Structure 1
């Protein structure tokens, strides 16, 4: 997935547009697509989504990204997926670090027409009033990470943050797949906490927040 592997993204996007490949045995190929990925895979997802848009595929629902690391073309890819805010682009990111190129995807995310593009996780909890357990680039991998991931990230996946990622990611994906909106997981305006749903406020609206809307 280094640099998003645009050639593979284009090839896969063409197959998905033509609907000429088969999913695992016994599964039907859905007509509505959501692109998603983690780290460099987040850039790959952006390239895949942009290809589907360029091919005129009408059932691209949007994107759900996990601490994406941007490479060349990422901004244009997200703009293509967003379609001026008509499609949802959502992300959960970790604290700035070498492994996420110090949140180099944020500029592209906040530049979209979408009024809410997700959350940056910061802390896990308070211990004796002190914030501890900050987010890690591999939180999304959870118990499936390995020694290479831990060594590369310089931190271990945090169970609490992994649970938050799975909660937001699965809810957003279900909403995109079904055309619904679970209000608790969104903000009407990312810059105004009072417009955020209860799940967002529970992390954000504190004296020392556990997360922050990407804005």
Structure 2
């Protein structure tokens, strides 16, 4: 996407900020679609509840070419939508994962939102975590959504996998961390299906301590967590979320930071004008390729309970990233 001329940047940026603050959804600024012949995409809402009222959450389903190896819940961040993670979702599907990418509100007076801003959203995160925990149950909200999406995509062979990975970008990273810890406490049997968390530049909310407490709880349980971080910026609240994970993890290896990374690299070619203006930058294609490779590789290892050497320090691909100053290893404190 071509950048706006310099004399228009401030004016358009101001409009973008106003749009975000007043709840204009990013669906008004369409993300660039990514075409992959081997992936079928279908939309189907998920019926749930929030603040004592029924809620229908829009969701995109991405079907791999063959039988899915695991389910990935891919959650966008503040002022974004599932469309902005389309390229990443397709990368997961091309690696054999069944992907569901919900679109959640960014601002909600009763906390039914992806971020904790004007109201506590932890109860909503717990509810959505429960939706995924019961996903294999016949007649459950997630199973019903998959059934409709499967029919629309003409994929009757695609059934709900046993194993699952929760993945989130920005505020979506905090949301899935809180949801995962809630599932651990509320439904230990369903929690066993959770192979791990894959977080893309996760952001800690300005309010509350839910991220820190959930991360510490999951750290003590030694749930596999991997992180791909960008450089510190206003958009990621100067890596507040990453620093929490560095303090709470009990893993020897947490993840990587992209040397030239910007917050919207995880969105890649699926980003939009609001995303670019928030960074005054565009996603770097090279970083996007690295994100796709590491995220799908690490997630596959979580599911299989293996360690593919090339994706970790000492491995050929990972060390190539280090030697070419593409990324650095996140220190564990």
**Deviation per residue, 1:64-98 (Å, 9 max, x gap):** 0001101232122223333443x210010001111
Secondary structure, aligned partner of 1:105 = helix
Give the conservation status (yes or no) of the 8 Å contact 1:62–1:81.
no
In structure 1, how many angstroms separate the alpha carbons of the residues matched to 2:251 and 2:221?
Answer: 7
Other-structure match for 1:40 = 171
In structure 1, how many angstroms separate the alpha carbons of the residues matched to 2:183 and 2:199?
Answer: 17
Give the conservation status (yes or no) of the 8 Å contact 2:235–2:263.
yes
Which one of 145, 148, 160 corresponds to residue 286 of structure 2? Answer: 160
Secondary structure, aligned partner of 1:110 = helix
Deviation at 1:135, TM superposition (A): 1.5
Unpaired stretches in structure 2, ≥5 consecutive residues: 1-113, 151-155
Deviation at 1:181, TM superposition (A): 1.5
Alignment: residue pair count = 193
Greater C-alpha radius of gyration: 2
Other-structure match for 1:210 = 326
In structure 2, how many angstroms separate the alpha carbons of the residues matched to 1:13 and 1:175?
Answer: 22
Deviation at 1:114, TM superposition (A): 0.7
Which one of 201, 206, 215 corresponds to residue 78 of structure 1? Answer: 215
Which one of 215, 228, 235 corresponds to residue 92 of structure 1? Answer: 228
Unpaired stretches in structure 1, ≥5 consecutive residues: 123-133, 188-195
Other-structure match for 2:47 = none
Give the conservation status (yes or no) of the 8 Å contact 2:164–2:303.
yes
Other-structure match for 1:11 = 127
Which one of 271, 275, 286 corresponds to residue 145 of structure 1? Answer: 271
Secondary structure, aligned partner of 2:215 = helix
Asked if 1:67 is matched to 2:204, the reply is no
TM-score by length of 2: 0.55
Deviation at 1:182, TM superposition (A): 0.9
Deviation at 1:202, TM superposition (A): 1.2
**Deviation per residue, 1:16-49 (Å, 9 max, x gap):** 2233231232432222121111011111111111
Backbone CA RMSD of aligned residues: 1.8
Give the conservation status (yes or no) of the 8 Å contact 1:39–1:67.
yes
Moved over 6 A (4+): none
Secondary structure, aligned partner of 2:132 = helix
Secondary structure, aligned partner of 2:263 = coil
